[in-house]
Chains A and B, each alone.
Chain A
């Protein structure tokens, strides 16, 4: 399994789909970072032009109060949903909770990096499926998988490839996080390397955890569908369709919002929660989803004709 995992990691990046995934993840990650960095850089530059001598704290406070930063974080955390709560006590509790959570992200840690991580947390599932949709389907279609079937049992092939994809994701995410942190550290020295690196790596870990269930779902679908294109369409419709159906559907029939729990959409935001218990629950939730998808995928892969 380890052997297949390492081979899979090496060639998942070198292959056509691997390169698309690599480019897409870098373009997405760096564009998000750039779109949030630009206004902050402007803010710092303007301050310097005007000759205003700002302390380190002033700059940090200005950044966290920037509309784009605070707005982004509030949106991902679901501030809109609070407005729909009718019970005043419940609403107040939710607002307090949101405030604490926002403070954790904007006060306790570099606000700019938090905002970047929150958008990545929201969009990363779509990048993940672009890398993982072809875990098996292409090789099943070309029958290339048959060369491996003679030499390794199906379970090792299945879990080995999934492991390889997780490692590939981890490597790409570490590279992405380091690039963003190094750029921020060089351009915005007032944050300090320590907090940036720590928070960046924590965010990277969160994104790796988030990738696992989506890789597992892709593995399941990819092992069941022989065509890579159909596999891509199905997994995209599933990952994109779940939040859309929940969002639109709840207006007509409220229980439809629970559709989000078909995938980790309903829980993944808690991976950035300030309380450890919420973080652990979200982590185990993601791993639970992954376990279910892997069970289904493995069961199908080991029983089907290849």
Chain B
């Protein structure tokens, strides 16, 4: 048995003259929360659509849970997706619509309705179950989409830009919801986004696409190891002497001033023999020795830094 829930091999897809995907290959480990990153037009939605068999690849193969997606009907109830921009039927009540999906998965009507009601309760839409989708706001529709994707605890869940077009509050709600639902099942979840913060917050593995090509893939830790960041705020600005002392540390590759008393320290764990905890401890010890006690301390957005490095583009998370 493969350790991968999803195996993508040499997938290519063109739309007329535009090459949307060019020989993309990677695997998604079972049980992981996998982020598919890339700027707009990188090919994320195309790749998702090929995995879900909405689109046919020009070449290459895709296996989900060991099943070739040419036989996608064998994955009935085991694979689900929140497609980007797909609309629910306007004239069908929400409960009826979602229950029909479970009927297609082979459930009885009673089982299907019970499952849908429970899932709608989880996403906070229980009171709308008898109404049509026209009664839902954009954020609610996204939650309904998430409910649809998590219905019946599928083994692999694909979420295509689950927070796109949402205000920060709604986006946070959706992220929390995904994390909560992810914890209740044992699914492998693949989330596509161009929001680095979102991916870094939720995912343990990532793949980065740009112009249809795979730039890199692996665990978030591996990818950001060379560019781990610490954001620190001090009671007063660092003196030149303190900055120089920090900059001379082997584990620190750069120091960037982000505000009057706020600094971003770039750690290069690849260049030292230390692990992450030891590296951070060494930095803190040096700061205390230099008489600069940090008032606040948080991990910076290392993934974004890496993304910008490899794609040369601003991400949504940087805005």
Contact = CB atoms under 8 A, between A and B. Distances in A.
B76 A151 contact: yes
A157 to B, nearest CB: 10
B234 interface: no
B52 A149 contact: yes
Interface in A109-152: 139, 142-144, 146-152
A142 B54 contact: no
A147 B148 contact: yes
Contact of B83 (A3, A15, A146): A146
Contacts of A16: 91
Contact of B91 (A7, A15, A152): A15
A11 B92 contact: yes
A237 B91 CA distance: 29
Contact of A152 (B52, B80, B89, B104): B104
A14 interface: yes
Contact of A144 (B56, B81, B86, B100): B86
Contact of A146 (B54, B73, B77): B54
Given A144-B86, A144-B87, A305-B55, A150 B80 contact: yes
Interface in B69-123: 72-73, 76-77, 79-81, 83, 85-89, 91-92, 100-101, 103-105
A306 interface: yes
Contacts of B100: 3, 7
A172 B100 CA distance: 24
A303 interface: yes
Nearest to B76: A151
A148 B103 CA distance: 11
A153 B148 contact: no
B59 interface: no
A151 B85 contact: no
A127 B101 CA distance: 31
7 contacts: A11-B89, A15-B91, A139-B89, A146-B81, A149-B52, A149-B72, A150-B72
Given A3-B103, A151-B101, A303-B56, 15 more contacts: A7-B100, A14-B91, A142-B86, A143-B83, A144-B86, A144-B88, A146-B81, A147-B86, A147-B101, A149-B53, A149-B54, A150-B52, A151-B105, A153-B73, A305-B55
